Amino acid sequence: MNYAKTAMLLAAMTALFMGLGYLIGGRTGMFVALAVAAVMNFWSYWGSDRAVLNMYGAQEVDQHSAPDLYAMVHGLTERAGLPMPRVFIIHEDQPNAFATGRNPENAAVAVNTGLLNRLTRDEVAGVVAHELAHIKNRDTLTMTITATLAGAVSMLANFAAFAGGSNDTRNPVGLIGSIAMMILAPLAASIVQMAISRSREYEADRIGAEISGNPIALASALAKIAGAHDDAVNVTAERNPQTAHMFIINPLSGQRMDNLFSTHPDTGNRIAALEALAAQWGVAHYSAPVPPNQAAPWGSAQRRPGPWG
């Protein structure tokens, strides 16, 4: 059901973009809009993962620089039946994580120090499994294309304001129509983008719980991340709100409820769904295994600084 909903919403986004191009420039404008969308999606397909990782100052780690985290990701990746993604750490106190990449063979998982320092090992594993679910579902590509189209709709809508004020008879909407498009088209695109994001989060929670085998740990992680949201401001996310949908919990201040204008489902609803899944499985607790000869820095009785510094 979620896949069908996502497909319909993407089709609606594409139709909105082409329709806006038609209103601005007729049939020629529609084809120009389609060409622009193709170019922007080509760029987002090949380069958006590197752009967003650079934007957040993500530092790539491996089995030598962050052995505990890397081993955890490797183990969960094997359980998910996926290629090993690149692993990154972001030096940011607000706990959060995201996945990016055009396909499972070119994917990356990024977690921040706030997440590693505040959550237990089982909770970190639940979050990583959620991000691997996004990779497995190819949500990273879907949401990148959606965000690109939403940005393109806004660009066209701004252009419509100028086109509407000209004497070009090919513009069928006029000044008033152009102003209306400038306001309503980006709003509609944002609503579609947010609806797609919410659908994918519920699905990633469910599949992530299957990968980790521990829906309760993921539910606990979501509660802790949401509870710590106001302790620190993610300045980079505030400056680049178009990336908010990538994170497991909305990193922006002033989060909203589970409605048309939220990028993420209400955290309470997600926790309730995971608890219901745990009850269905008969799972009350699960402890993710610690790699041999490696004492993980999170959730241990004697807490020590992790390899991320």
What one-character-per-residue DSSP string does 212-264 give? HT-HHHHHHHHHHHHHTGGGS--HHHHH-GGGGGGBSS--SSS---SSTT-SS
Question: Is residue 201 annotated as involved in ligand binding?
Answer: yes
Helix 174-212 to helix 267-281 angle (10° resolution) is 30
Closest CA relative to residue 211, chosen from 293, 277, 294: 277
Question: Is residue 285 annotated as involved in ligand binding?
Answer: no
| Residue 203 falls in the annotated catalytic set | no
Question: Is residue 64 annotated as involved in ligand binding?
Answer: no
Residue 135 burial by Cβ neighbours in a 10 Å radius (0-12, 13-18, 19+):
buried
How many whole angstroms separate alpha carbon 18 and alpha carbon 35? 10
Catalytic residue among 60, 92, 123, 131: 131
Strands laid side by side in the 97-101 sheet: 59-61, 86-90, 107-112, 97-101
Question: Are the CB atoms for 85 and 77 separated by under 8 Å?
Answer: yes
SS3 (DSSP) at 68? helix
Question: Are the CB atoms for 108 and 101 separated by under 8 Å?
Answer: yes
SS3 (DSSP) at 61? strand
Question: Are the CB atoms for 221 and 249 separated by under 8 Å?
Answer: no
Question: Are the CB atoms for 122 and 88 separated by under 8 Å?
Answer: no
Report the catalytic residues: 131
Residue numbering of the annotated binding site: 130, 134, 201
Residue numbering of the annotated binding site for Zn(2+): 130, 134, 201
